[in-house]
Structure 1
Amino acid sequence: MSITGDTPTDPTAAQPADGSGEVSGAELVLTDVVKLYPGQKVPAVNSLSLTIPAGEIVMFIGPSGCGKTTSLKMINRLIEPTSGTITIDGEDIRGKDENELRRHIGYVIQGGSLFPHMTVEKNIGIVPKMLGWDSARIAERVTDLLDLVGLDPDRYRHRYPRELSGGQQQRVGVARGLAADPPVILMDEPFGAVDPITRQRLQDELISIQRELRKTIVCVTHDIDEAIKLGDRILILQEGAKVAQYDTPEAILSTPANDFVADFVGAGSSLKALSLARVTDVELRQPTTARIGEATEEVRRRAEANGDRAVIVLDARGRPQGWPWLRQLKGDTIVAPDQELVDVDQRATLNDALDTMLSSSHGAAVVTGDRDQYLGVVDFAAVTAQIRAMEEAQDDG
């Protein structure tokens, strides 16, 4: 049975929301790709044809045994195709040495898969070193990438994987996948081994990174909600190596191609549509902010004049560090609060925003943009207003 990928019904819908970054990814084309393992009569992948546009995230999803991971691994030849053609930016991957090919394709797997005997810096710099980069260039790249994935370079570059949390290890794994600035990144269930809160945060960070870098990312997942949240397009594979649907999340939710897709997406697709609504769709509130080092009394007066009982503390680069109540402000000057602030990216889903609000004593969530820059606050009133507007639009439709 063949696998074929049709062009999504609305190619323009898959473009990143703000188009802020220039596309640095490459078009990926699979043509009649087959994988037949020795001793098997039925191919694991049979005649897969698929075009993945440059600069987009495409999510591979389907039941166990459908060929999604096999298809992913054939792109960097961790699994050799039996036949067919795979091209990156028009160049056949079979024309390159397999090790050279892999050095130019980022690869991120569950848990980060870091070398335990190497520091964070050496883990990230391993591929650039193989490519002949000098030490100064590697060090600069490590600094930039740690900053990109939300880890303080001075604090984390000399640590070992055992000194990191699971989420931090996964961030380093993403940084390592980006280290040599490859046009294509492959991800095999990268966030499957972390807790739900960390998973949401890592997904948001990937969205933020992609907004800036615009790589071509192919990601295998088992979670339809993750596919809807992250994917510009989703490839749903059916048992028996058949493409059930290849389309935008909007199209898959509104017009599933067949009963398999409808069942796979599951009941309550209208609720899943909340995953299509983003924080950028709602109006952000602008409560009082304070910079580290400001006079405490001045900040307190400003907050009280605004009718706020708390302030959002920002560092010198405009990144939120905490959201303390006025009664918690001590000393002559504002310092970084001794608390972890859970924020959401501006492209986070309303579902994620609601989850974050429920865990916040403020009943709202701090919103960040590129490189964790503070943008404002989203609250229940704004989200519920957006939900009502969506429901009214559905009723009118």
Structure 2
Amino acid sequence: MSETTATSSGSVTGAEIRLENVTKQYAGQKVAAVGDLTLTIPAGEIAMFVGPSGCGKTTSLKMINRLIEPTSGTIMIGGEDSRKRSADELRRTIGYVIQGGSLFPHMTVAKNIALVPKLLGWDDDRIKKRTDELLDLVSLDPSRYRDRYPRELSGGQQQRVGVARGLAADPPVVLMDEPFGAVDPITRQRLQDELLAIQRELRKTIVCVTHDIDEAIKMGDRILILQEGAQVAQYDTPEVVLGSPANEFVEDFVGSGSALKQLSLARVDEVGTFPQTTAKIGESSAEVIQRAQAAGHRSVVVLDERNRPVGWPWLRQLKGEKIVQSEHAPDAIDRRATLNDALDVMLVNGHGGAVVTDAGGAYFGVVDFTSVTDQMRAMQEKAHEVSNG
């Protein structure tokens, strides 16, 4: 399996994964934990494994990096049989992210991220550069977080470090087992958006286990719905799974609100954004206020030196001579966030809109409440027409 390196933003750096008749049979059990599983995950896509407890989704995931050895069958990664390499060598070329980040408490953030690169023999300068690059990628300032210990981080920050560690050696494949299950809903949404933004740039092959069908719909290029024994109930795009469930099991698992769930397929950049007056830290407040008033705006989005939103104050709040960074950054959403996510943010920020960011957290624009609700209403009406023939 050859390692790949991103040469430009958006280029595919992942590897195809192919499972052929993969089975896991534990001694003393009549029914296989995973029975004759066959599927292909295209390079550069996110495949979400979802299903009821005990269906074999985590077992299937762990067989890819041989944390669990298959009883029979073949797993090909990048066209190469995974059994032709030692298990340790294989795992060093596959990122692995689990719930809570699973950081070593006695190691700093930087040392946690550096684990696999050190095992691969990278020199110190290369490791430091890669560590800082990844912390920046997961929206953690390297100068602030590099030397902290896990106990000094919030749950969401620990999970970000876990993602950075999974990407440290630039693996073509990243496995994720309930990566966002231990954080609160708002942090969960932010982490999902960040991962989607990272994936747009890096295009790894990501296999993610979740119990949440809504997360699967939002995150997945493809969704694998498993029944007991890892029997494939359906494996397809979210649109097909929602619009044409393969059988009664899938219908029941997706739920009766599948038409409403299709709203999760609509993304913010399909609605479009509008320009908002922006200001850089250190600019003259008077000049910014004059510019905003001329544009008919009552607030401004404050950006840092890297064009990332760090504040969204009302004009009446700009009292000093210079624009300063707000105490709390706005709850920005990625442009590939769902309309449901956009509404969640809008309902708590009081602006009647949401700041939208692009890859790397750079400012992209503002989406307003009316545009989002109009789009959702149109989709709902269309879904209703389809369901009624």
Above 0.5 in TM-score? yes
- 1:243-299 residue CA offsets vs partner (Å, 9 max, x unmatched): 100000000000000011011000111110110000011121212111111111000
What CA distance in whole angstroms lies between the structure 1 residues aligned with 2:9 and 2:132? Answer: 22
Q: How does 1:378-389 map to 2 (within 5 A)?
A: 378-389=367-378
Identify the range of structure 1 (167-176 vs 298-307) with the bigger mean alpha-carbon deviation: 298-307
Residues 1:153 and 2:157 are matched in the alignment: no
What CA distance in whole angstroms lies between the structure 2 residues aligned with 1:246 and 1:283? Answer: 31
Equivalent residue for 1:194? 183
Deviation at 1:391, TM superposition (A): 3.4
What CA distance in whole angstroms lies between the structure 2 residues aligned with 1:301 and 1:20? Answer: 37
- 1:318-367 residue CA offsets vs partner (Å, 9 max, x unmatched): 10001011121132111111123211000000000011100111121100
Identify the range of structure 1 (386-395 vs 184-193) with the bigger mean alpha-carbon deviation: 386-395
Residues 1:322 and 2:314 are matched in the alignment: no
What CA distance in whole angstroms lies between the structure 1 residues aligned with 2:140 and 2:33? Answer: 39
Question: Is the partner of 2:127 in helix, strand or coil?
Answer: helix
Q: How does 1:1-397 map to 2 (within 5 A)?
A: 21-394=10-383, 397=386
What CA distance in whole angstroms lies between the structure 1 residues aligned with 2:367 and 2:379? Answer: 17
Equivalent residue for 2:5? none
Q: Which runs of 4+ in 1 moved over 4 A?
A: none
What CA distance in whole angstroms lies between the structure 1 residues aligned with 2:381 and 2:234? Answer: 28
What CA distance in whole angstroms lies between the structure 2 residues aligned with 1:393 and 1:269? Answer: 13
Identify the range of structure 1 (384-393 vs 46-55) with the bigger mean alpha-carbon deviation: 384-393
What CA distance in whole angstroms lies between the structure 2 residues aligned with 1:268 and 1:274? Answer: 10
Alignment check: 8 A CA contact 2:312 2:329 kept: no
One-letter amino acid matched to 2:138 = V
Deviation at 1:201, TM superposition (A): 0.2
What CA distance in whole angstroms lies between the structure 1 residues aligned with 2:381 and 2:350? Answer: 31
- 1:150-194 residue CA offsets vs partner (Å, 9 max, x unmatched): 111111101110000000000000000000000000000000000
One-letter amino acid matched to 1:84 = G
**How many matched pairs?**
379
What CA distance in whole angstroms lies between the structure 2 residues aligned with 1:391 and 1:36? Answer: 45
One-letter amino acid matched to 2:60 = S
- Structural RMSD (CA): 1.2
Give me the TM-score of the superposition, normalised by structure 1: 0.94
Question: Is the partner of 1:285 in helix, strand or coil?
Answer: coil
Provide the identity percentage. 72
- 1:182-234 residue CA offsets vs partner (Å, 9 max, x unmatched): 00000000000000000000000000000000000000000000000000000
Question: Is the partner of 2:349 in helix, strand or coil?
Answer: coil
Question: Is the partner of 2:75 in helix, strand or coil?
Answer: strand
One-letter amino acid matched to 2:173 = V
What CA distance in whole angstroms lies between the structure 2 residues aligned with 1:259 and 1:125? Answer: 47
Deviation at 1:393, TM superposition (A): 3.5
Give me the TM-score of the superposition, normalised by structure 2: 0.96
Question: Is the partner of 2:286 in helix, strand or coil?
Answer: helix
One-letter amino acid matched to 1:173 = G
Deviation at 1:396, TM superposition (A): 5.6
Deviation at 1:20, TM superposition (A): 5.5
What CA distance in whole angstroms lies between the structure 1 residues aligned with 2:265 and 2:134? Answer: 28
What CA distance in whole angstroms lies between the structure 2 residues aligned with 1:20 and 1:316? Answer: 21
What CA distance in whole angstroms lies between the structure 2 residues aligned with 1:124 and 1:377? Answer: 34
Identify the range of structure 1 (376-385 vs 215-224) with the bigger mean alpha-carbon deviation: 376-385
Alignment check: 8 A CA contact 2:260 2:380 kept: no
Identify the range of structure 1 (263-272 vs 302-311) with the bigger mean alpha-carbon deviation: 302-311
**Ranges in structure 1 where 5+ consecutive residues have no aligned partner:** 1-18
